[in-house]
Amino acid sequence: MAPEREIPNETVPPAGEPVHLPGPSLLPVVVAAGITVVLVGVVLSPMLAGLGLLVTVVAIARWIREVRADIAELPQEH
Sign of the dihedral through C-alpha 6, 9, 12, 14: positive
pLDDT tens per residue, range 50-71: 999 999 999 999 999 999 998 8
Q: pTM score > 0.75 for this model?
A: no
pLDDT of residue 13: 59
Phi-psi region of 24 (alpha: psi -120 to 50; beta: other; left: phi over 0): beta
